[in-house]
Structure 1
Amino acid sequence: MVTGAAMSDEQAAVSRIELSVDGERPLSAETVDAVAGMCRRAEDADGAAVVVLRVSGTPRGEWARDLNLRLVNRWEQALRRLERVPATTIALAAGACGGPALDVLLATDHRIAARSVRLVLPMQGGLVWPGMALYRLARQAPSATAVRQAALYGTAIGLDDALALHLVHEVTGDVEAALGVAVGRAAAVSGTELAVRRQLALDAPTVAFEEALGTHLAAVDRALRIAAGTPS
């Protein structure tokens, strides 16, 4: 379910959009639509939203039996939209996180983990599921032994490795308190401008300097106009 939540008085102009993703439930059109709807609400907020995703659970049994390529593609497109949404995205993770829960976790900006967290690439037919979580893990932690073992054999990535590899960013015994701090920090930042910086950082490992320069200069020009009070 997607919900909006009121924030503190000083953050009243910022809406909080929440979604829970249960990794034990097989991927469905409803889950895809929920993530897409959450992204749409954040986009409509014009930079004045913070997105909070609560993730836990990992697939069990023959979880991929009823999937089809069209649904999986729609899901991957929804996750890509989440990665680009003009809002800070914060994940709260608990327990084993796999399947849709891991997918969502890896697509967020800031990831807060309970001490029980383990990251699990789901297995199907004795092999690791070759979805884009595999891509995101390898891109975010290239050459790491824990990621390689997870990709090849489905070995769970424990909390210590996840933290050391920056797959989660914060570990806490009080996720609600940590969430309050993270939301307060995010509320002070324009989601629209954050999305520009996020994309610049994501592109940096694969884009040549000459190609990146024009995009960075365009962002600098906008930043200068904002500083001068003429952002349009």
Structure 2
Amino acid sequence: MTTELPGVEAPEGIGLFAKVDGARTPAELTALINSACDQAEKQPDGTAVILDLGEAPVEHEQWPGDVTIQTVNRWERAVRRVESLDGITIAVAQGTCGGHALDLLLAVDFRMGVPGLQLQLPVNDGHIWPGMLLYRLVRHLGLAAARRIVMRGADLSLGQALDLGLIDQVADDVQGAVHAATALTERMADRETAVRRQLLLEAASVEYDDALGAHLAACERELRRLRKERPAASVPAGRSRA
């Protein structure tokens, strides 16, 4: 996929870019995200997916608009695909980030904010949209912090989002920040990235004894990988291997 980030060139072999145009309808956005996920799933291990979330249109607060519940369900499933990709996912947000862009922002691994960014919860006739955004806010921040944000319904500045951990990095130099983030794919490749992400997500709700088995399985795979990469120990002359 060709990059549409202004001034950013796709790092050869590891960068897959998608510009998410907020002027599109929810159905069109769903098709775009599913297409991006289809392409990402065909890429070699270690390929990063970078989403340019752009700037929300004036009517972004009225997300998702007059749509059917089936349209909402398809959108939520598309966002979940982003969240479940094997490779690293990165989002760059600017301007006012709300509605579809905020959904995607909270679903990726690394979240970059351009100076001047504001996060705004989608509001319809005075009511916060009750989509899976609320679920992800609780997962990221805990119930108390998420409740304060949702019940106040106020915008979050870039500084506030950074303090809360909803933004990981301020990207004054977008191109440099994207290149640095994609370099992480060299050590976080293939399905093991998704495994670690899932272990982190489950830690908030799974009891220790229930989580232990999944962590031990991941540790065992990592030990096998390390043994494969470790060169065979040299054997002194005249001495056989044990």
Q: Normalising to structure 2: TM-score of the pair?
A: 0.83
Q: What is residue 79 of structure 1 aligned with on the other side?
A: 79
* Residue 34 of structure 1 pairs with residue 32 of structure 2: yes
Q: Which range moves more in the overlay, 162-171 or 30-39? A: 30-39
Instruction: Give the counterpart letter for 1:37 in structure 2.
Output: S
The answer to whether the Cα contact below 8 Å between 2:46 and 2:88 also exists between their aligned partners in 1 is: no
Structure 2 runs not aligned, ≥5 long: 4-8, 230-242
Match of 2:53? Answer: 55
SS in 2 for 1:91: strand
Matched position secondary structure for 1:90: strand
Task: Compare CA radii of gyration and give the structure with the larger one.
Answer: 2
Q: Corresponding residue for 1:197? A: 196
More strand by share: 1
Supply the distance in 1 between the matched residues of 2:75 and 2:65 (Cα, whole angstroms): 16
Aligned to 2:141: 141
Q: Quick one: distance in 1 between partners of 2:171 and 2:215?
A: 35
Rounded Cα–Cα distance in structure 2 between residues aligned with 1:6 and 1:65: 33
* Cα displacement (A) at 1:150: 3.5
User: In the TM superposition, what whole-angstrom CA distance separates every residue of 1:103-152 from its partner, at most 9, and x where no partner exists?
Assistant: 1111010111111111111111111111111221222112555x434312
Hey, what's the Cα distance between the residues in 1 that align with 2:148 and 2:198?
29
Residue in 2 that maps onto 1:173:
172
Q: CA 1:46–1:177 in 2, change beyond 3 Å: closer, same or farther?
A: closer
Q: What are structure 1's unaligned runs of at least 5 residues?
A: none
Query: For residue 16 of structure 2, what is the aligned residue in structure 1?
Result: 17
Q: CA deviation at 1:229?
A: 2.0
CA shift for structure 1 position 99: 0.5
Structure 2 partner of 1:151 = 150
1:183-214: CA deviations, max 9, x gaps? 12224421321111111111111111111111
Provide the C-alpha distance between the structure 2 equivalents of 1:172 and 1:151, rounded to a whole number of angstroms: 26
Distance across 2 between alignment mates of 1:40 and 1:52: 14
CA distance in 1, matches of 2:64, 2:170: 31
| 1:118 counterpart = 2:118 | yes
Deviations 1:41-69 (A, max 9, x none): 22222423110011133461755443110
Q: Which moves more between the two structures, 86-95 or 189-198?
A: 189-198
Letter in 1 for 2:102: L
SS at match of 1:56: coil
Q: How big is the shift at 1:153?
A: 4.0
1:227 match: 226
Match of 2:206 in 1: 207
Q: Distance in 2 between matches of 1:46 and 1:155?
A: 41
- Which SS does the other structure have where 1:3 is aligned? coil
- Opposite residue 160 of structure 1, the aligned amino acid is G
Output one character per residue of 1:55-88: Cα deviation in whole Å (capped at 9) or x when no partner: 1334617554431100111111111111110100
Change (3 A) 1:62 1:119: closer
Query: Separation in 1 of the partners of 2:183 and 2:205?
Result: 32
- Partners of 2:94 and 2:10 lie apart in 1 by 24
Kept in 2, the 8 Å contact 1:16–1:49? The answer is yes
When normalised by structure 1's length, the TM-score is 0.87
CA RMSD of aligned residues (A): 2.1
Deviation, 1:22, is 3.2
Going from structure 1 to structure 2, the CA distance change for 1:62 and 1:39 (only over 3 Å counts) comes to: closer
Sort the Cα spacing of 1:229 and 1:32 in 2 relative to 1 into closer, same or farther, 3 A.
same
Which amino acid is the alignment partner of residue 34 of structure 2? A
1:15-62 CA distance string (max 9 Å, x none): 311112234x35422211211121122222242311001113346175
Query: Would you say 1:218 and 2:217 are equivalent positions?
Result: yes
Identity %: 39
Q: Tell me the number of residue pairs that the alignment of Structure 1 and Structure 2 aligns.
A: 222
